[in-house]
Amino acid sequence: MNIIAGQGLAGTVLALTLLERGEEVRVIDNGHRSSSSMVAAGLWNPIVFRRINKSWLADEVIAELESFYPAAEPLLNARFFHPMRIFRKHGNALEARLWAEKKPTKEFSPYLANDGRNPDPAVYKSFEFGHGTVNRAGYVDLPVFLAAARKYFAGKGILAEAEFALPDNADALNNFRFEGKSVKRIIDCRGYKTAESPWFRYLPFGLTKGEVLTVRCKDLNLDEVFNAGFFLQPLGNDLYRMGATFNWSDRDEEPTAEARAELMAKFRKHLNAEVEIISQKAGVRPTVQDRRPLIGCHPEAEKLCIFNGLGTKGVMLAPLFAKVFCAWLFEGIPLPDEVNIDRFRSFLGQESPVVDYPAPRKRK
């Protein structure tokens, strides 16, 4: 039996991938308490707007997510996959120039397009540097996806609603049984809570608190995501999700007035439209200092694995790396060095490197 601890995005995608392979799975979750997946916008975007580059492994991850999520919809009897273009307001002259230069190239033409619209000046403030469209983007409605998967797992009798506590020594872990059955492996997918585990405390999580607003704006009439250093994601009926903030020092899950003010200031910088705040949510993302997932088995306990650290691009990365993880587990195909937790083996034995970790430098 494979135990998956945590039914957030990572645990759900991995469980579905294991089940598709015919593996025995048991999903243990505490009811989505402390799940950043329930707060996240679920956006995917193949483009990094800084210097107009493709996101890491964009071609591979986009192809996999465009296969995985649509196939999961009939299985889970729910609609949560929403391809949606991004309407990008260029931030400066360099961005506009790089967009124009890269758009016609073979590498970028599937993703970048010009935009012939004339935004209403009564709604949008000045587009000094122009704008463009990102194709092959969109969002996964994570609350719908996770709820549908939870119902599916419960219907198959493989969901246990409980807190999961790992044994505290290797002997107990290697002899661990669940509900009277021997356990082949335990896979920790508990998001940022994994950083508190004594087993994985040595891994350099760089946790980030993020906050989003749900707002009503009757003037926008958007059927695309608007991005201008923040995003507005249309939800229908004049509702939009607005986000997101990044806080590297605050690790609770309580919404703050500061984040609300920050997001509203960004809105008013770029839009004249009237807006009403409906709700505010906060969560802690399981990010990693080098911005790469954490995949592999604990160096001192082979039965204990981890599939975590997907960070802000979890919707994009989860389907591909669930397959990569399974190929390693069952076919012996080596994990890429960039995601293998062996890259942090020298940290083993250190105490809580996550505490007061500085924010990573932005990649060029």
CA angle 86, 92, 98 (to 5 degrees): 70
Contact in structure between 279 and 38 (CB atoms under 8 Å)? no
Alpha carbon distance 16, 74 (integer Å): 13
Residue partners of 224: CB distance under 8 A and separation at least 6? 84, 85, 86, 87, 133, 234
Tokens of 40: 């996240």
Helix, strand, coil in percent for the chain, rounding step 5: 30, 25, 45
Residues 29-50: tens digit of each pLDDT: 988 655 566 678 899 999 999 8
* pLDDT for position 36: 63
Tokens of 98: 């790089």
Alpha carbon distance 58, 108 (integer Å): 11
Closest CA to 275 of 267, 266, 284: 267
Burial level of 364, CB count in 10 A (0-12/13-18/19+)?
exposed
* pLDDT for position 335: 97
Alpha carbon distance 154, 193 (integer Å): 23
Contact in structure between 338 and 363 (CB atoms under 8 Å)? no
- Domain at 87-138+207-285, CATH homologous superfamily: D-Amino Acid Oxidase, subunit A, domain 2 (3.30.9.10)
Amino acid sitting at position 331: E
Other C-beta atoms closer than 10 Å to the C-beta of 178 total: 14
* pLDDT for position 351: 60
SS3 284: strand
* pLDDT for position 178: 86
CATH for 1-84+139-206+286-364 is 3.50.50.60
Contact in structure between 47 and 36 (CB atoms under 8 Å)? no
* pLDDT for position 38: 67
CA angle 190, 60, 49 (to 5 degrees): 85
Please list the residues that pair with 340 across neighbouring strands. 295
Question: What is the domain partition of the chain in residue ranges?
Answer: 1-84+139-206+286-364, 87-138+207-285
* pLDDT for position 33: 59
Instruction: State the first-to-last Cα distance of the chain, in angstroms, to the nearest integer.
Output: 43
C-alpha torsion sign, points 251, 255, 260, 266: positive
SS3 181: strand
SS3 268: helix
SS3 146: helix
Collect the ranges in the chain with pLDDT lower than 70: 32-38, 351-364
Contact in structure between 36 and 210 (CB atoms under 8 Å)? yes
